[in-house]
Amino acid sequence: MATAFLSTANSFLSSTLSPSTSSSSSSSSSSSLTPALIYLNNQNVKRRQTLCKAFNESPSPSPALTKRGFSLCFITSLVLAGNGCFGASAAILEADDDEELLEKVKKDRKKRLERQGVISSSDQEKGYLQDLVYKLSKIGQAIDNNDLPAASSVLRGSTDIDWVKNANKAFNKLSSSPEEKTQVDTFNASLASLISSVTKNDVESSKVAFVQSASAFEKWTNLTGLFGQLKGL
């Protein structure tokens, strides 16, 4: 780089000192520059041609965008299809739930109609239960008045009496569900406790046992649908 810089400086000084030399050198330099310029022009033309060819042969952005758009559309369609499948599955599950609920309603209605048919044809059993209501009412009034002898005259100190036996006949015929049978067992156990408490002349225990037996009987009538068909409840 230093040698080139010095030679350029020397040629610059020589051209400024001798005009003749400068003119001759300029003519010679112009003659020597002409092939160089032609060469450069040819090179520029070739370069432009190469660039144009490369540009023309380069892949158009539209196919790339088209492929990308196609990929996005494909992915979107999969997502939408997935959502559609999920929605369809949910609709199927909801339909199954609706069918199950409808079947349950039908079965419950069938059971209720069957129960109503049994109750409507069980006049004797309803008579037993109505007698039970009257007996419990008398016992409750006597206990409320602290008159355990009056309560004992109805209970007779035992569960082996007609009105208790008849009540259990009605219970056995009209009870169908486990809940109803549970209330029957609770009633009988509480009634036995009531008889024992009255026999012992224990007013407080008698009151507790009476409430338990009456509550169990009332729950049973609600479960069986007899609550509104018996007087005194």
Average pLDDT, stretch 58-78? 50
How many domains are contained in the chain?
2
Higher-confidence residue: 43 or 169? 169
**Are 188 and 225 in a shared domain?**
yes
91 and 104, same domain (yes or no): yes
DSSP annotation string for 163-229 = HHHHHHHHHHHH--SHHHHHHHHHHHHHHHHHHHHHHTT-HHHHHHHHHHHHHHHHHHHHHHT-GGG
Calculate what percentage of the chain has a pLDDT beyond 90.
44
Range of the domain at 105: 65-121
Place of tokens 């599950």: 93
Task: Tell whether 145 is covered by a domain.
Answer: yes
> pTM value?
0.55
Domain boundary, last residue among 121, 137, 160? 121
3-state secondary structure of 162: helix
